[in-house]
Each structure stands twice: as C-alpha cells, then as structure tokens.
Amino acid sequence: MTHADRSPLALSMGEPAGIGPEITLKAWAARQTEQLPVFFAVGAPALYRQLATSLGLDVPLHEIASPEEAAGFFNRALPVLPLPLEADVEPGRLSPPNARAVMRSIDLACDLALAGRAAGIVTNPIHKRALYEAGLNLPGHTEYLAARTGGATPVMMLSCPGLRVVPVTVHEPLASVATSLTTAMIIEKGVILARALKHDLGIARPRIAVAGLNPHAGEEGHNGREEIDEIAPALDAIRNAGAEISGPLPPDTMFHAAARMRYDAALCMYHDQALIPLKTIDFEHGVNTTLGLPIVRTSPDHGTALDIAGRGVAHPGSLIEAIRLADEIARNRAAS
C-alpha cells in the first residue's frame, strides 16, 4: 500500500501563537526530502497563510472540505481543513480567546481518526494554562485524548533515534514518587508497552530494560526496598505479555551507547529518569507517542516555545519525526 492509498494524517493546530503553525509549514516544505506521508492541518487557513508570508516560506495552501481530498493536493500545497479562530493572533503572545478553537482542532482530528478518515493524529504543542482557563479539567493532551477515545489507560512513550523510554509515574512530584509507585502500576504500563512494541512497532520479541528507583537499584535492599517490594514482583507479568525483561537495573548505567543496544525500550520509574537521557541524546528529534489508545497519536516532544514564535527559527525536526512515527504505527496496525 502506498502513501496515496492510505488515509492521511491529521495535524492539530496547537497554540496558534506558538511555533506549531510554523513547524507545520516547514514540515510540508520538507515533505519530499524527508519522504513524508500525506498529512493535512486542522486549523485556520489565514493563520498559516499570514505566517508563511511573514516568514518568507514558499508554502502554498489549499483548503479542503474533507480528509479524502488531502492526497490530491499534497504534492503542490499544504492541505488545510478550515477551523476558524475567535481572535487575531500575534506570534509569541498567548491568545486565551482562541483556547476553544485549539480544543476544537484536537476534537476534530481525534474524531476523524476514530472514524478511520485519518490514519492518526499528530498534535502540535498546546499551552495548558490557556486551556485550563477555558475549562479543560484534565492534566493535558494525553489524558484528554484517552477520555475522548473511550477511557483506556494512556501510556506516554518518548522516543528519539536510539532510545525509547516510558515513565511509570509522570507528572508526580519527586517527593511522592516512592509512595505512589505500585506493582500494579508497573505491570499495567509495562504490559501496554510490550504490546505496543510488538503491534505498533513490529518488534516480534521486544526487549524491555526496567530501571530501579534508587541509586544502584537499591543495592539488595540496603539503599531502599522499592526494587524488592514493588518493581521485581511486576516483571513476570510483563514477561507474560511477550517481552524479554532485564532489571531492575541501576539507572545510572542504563543509558550509555552500549547499554542502549541491549534493549528496545526502557521502563523508568519517574519523569526525569526517562526524559533527561532522551533529551540529552537528541533534543531536536524527540517524539511523544501515546500508547494504549484506539487511535494513533504522536506529538513533538517540546512545548509552544512562545519566546521564539514568529521569528522563523523554530526547528521542525521533532514534528517531522512525529509524522514519520505516526505513519509507521498506522502501517503496522493496518497490517496486523
């Protein structure tokens, strides 16, 4: 099946005053050199058009009435499924009146993916404070999409060339990580990771390295007991999902180049344990993938970057990798 034979990917608008619109334009401009699949933007055509003009980007636009039209125009123009804004946008200046339009863009992209009219969604960065003030009562994109698609447990996987990581606890204060970590939580996220590595990424027998929580993985209980009491009891259940498991491993020796060759993904116990090595290895090409959803969802692993929005210096590498990974997952799911 060729790119043209599959449903296109839907790119949500993200915060219109951030860098999402700019990197969307730049991703389309790089479509041939990067060999990207067909995608379309869900947003305000005037926003993309004005930004392309102000930044001197040679990106023509074509408004489409449905996703099915995107493939016919993709080679010569960025397809845009129109969604109006509620206020003018000044790059770099947060636009709270447009928060509802941001949510409508996510909703429309999600609904098209649920209906099979989009192969998956790639969500541009949102500004959470603006959305909270507009009524969002969930922590962010991941939890919102999980609720909208049926309430499955969402698992955040971050990846870059050479490393995939999943944090078991995510936005948990470090002081409460040890008390919030449970064997059931580790099993649930580990099993979802194992299944996704097989079915979404085509790895027949995935290898998962499980990090310890404490320095030196607890030193057999002399430096903390979480490895013995919470982590080790979870490993057999993850093995039963079809994965090869190593661990609990000392976190400080898991991420050098030779160690990374021994596993396909690392299951980490908290946010920074997972994200610091990934962002150190390749900050510009990180991708956030939500595992466990009935739809494909990826996102650039960065924020709205309001401080550089509208200046033409935003790097599209993370969005390009997110588009590429969403296409890979969609192809693997279609073939399974």
Give a yes or no: residue 67 inside a domain.
Answer: yes
Q: Which amino acid is at 97?
A: P
User: Sign of torsion, CA 53 56 59 60?
Assistant: positive
Residue 212 lies in a domain: yes
Buried b (16+ CB within 10 A) or exposed e, 187-213: bbbbbbbbbbbbebbebeebebbbbbb
Question: 130 phi and psi, to 5 degrees?
Answer: -65, -40
Asked if residue 62 and residue 45 are part of one domain, the reply reads yes
Same domain, 186 and 66: no
For 248, half-sphere exposure in the C-beta direction (CA atoms, 13 angstrom radius) is: 28
CATH code assigned at 191: 3.40.718.10
Listed residues 252, 278, 304: the one ending a domain:
278
217 falls within a domain: yes
What's the domain count of the chain?
2
Burial 231-242 (b: 16+ CB within 10 A, else e): bbebbebbeebe
231 with 102, same domain: the answer is no
Q: Does residue 119 sit within a domain?
A: yes
> What's the farthest any 2 CA atoms get from each other in the chain?
64
Contacts of 231 (CB under 8 A, 6+ apart): 181, 183, 186, 210, 212, 213, 247, 248, 269
Q: Tens digit of pLDDT per residue, the chain (336 long)?
A: 444 467 999 999 999 999 999 999 999 999 999 999 999 999 999 999 999 999 999 999 999 999 999 999 999 999 999 999 999 999 999 988 999 999 999 999 999 999 999 999 999 999 887 777 777 777 777 888 999 999 888 899 999 999 999 999 998 999 999 999 999 999 999 999 999 999 999 999 999 999 999 999 989 999 999 999 999 999 999 999 999 999 999 999 999 999 999 999 999 999 999 999 999 999 889 999 999 999 999 999 999 999 999 999 999 999 999 999 999 999 999 998
| Dist CA 231 CA 51 (whole Å) | 49
Do residues 146 and 170 both lie within one domain?
A: no
Tokens 């993370």 belong to 318
Q: Domain check: are 173 and 199 in the same one?
A: yes
Whether 209 and 308 share a structural domain = no
In whole angstroms, what is the distance from residue 217 CA to residue 325 CA?
Answer: 32
The residue among 88, 124, 84 whose CA lies nearest residue 104 is 84
With respect to residue 17, please indicate whether it lies within any of the assigned structural domains.
yes
Considering the domain architecture, whether residues 192 and 218 belong to the same structural domain is answered as: yes
Q: Is residue 284 part of a domain?
A: no
d(CA 321, CA 328): 10
| Within a domain: 193 | yes
Is residue 286 one of the residues assigned to a domain? no
91 and 132 housed in the same domain: yes
Together in a domain, 65 and 17: yes
Please, what is the Cα angle at 129 between 126 and 133, to 5 degrees?
115
- In this prediction, residue 5 carries a pLDDT of 61
Q: List the one residue out of 325, 266, 328 whose CA is nearest residue 300.
A: 325
Same domain, 150 and 170: no
Give long-range contacts, CB 8 A cutoff, 24+ apart: 221-230: 224/178, 226/178, 226/181, 226/269, 230/181, 230/182, 230/183, 230/186
Range of the domain at 311: 3-154+294-335
Both 180 and 51 in a single domain? no
Listed as own residue / partner, the contacts of 104-107 with beta carbons closer than 8 Å and 24 or more positions apart are 105/12, 105/13, 105/14, 105/42, 105/43, 106/12, 106/141, 106/144, 106/145, 107/148
- CA 151 to CA 332: how far, in whole Å? 23
User: 107 with 135, same domain?
Assistant: yes
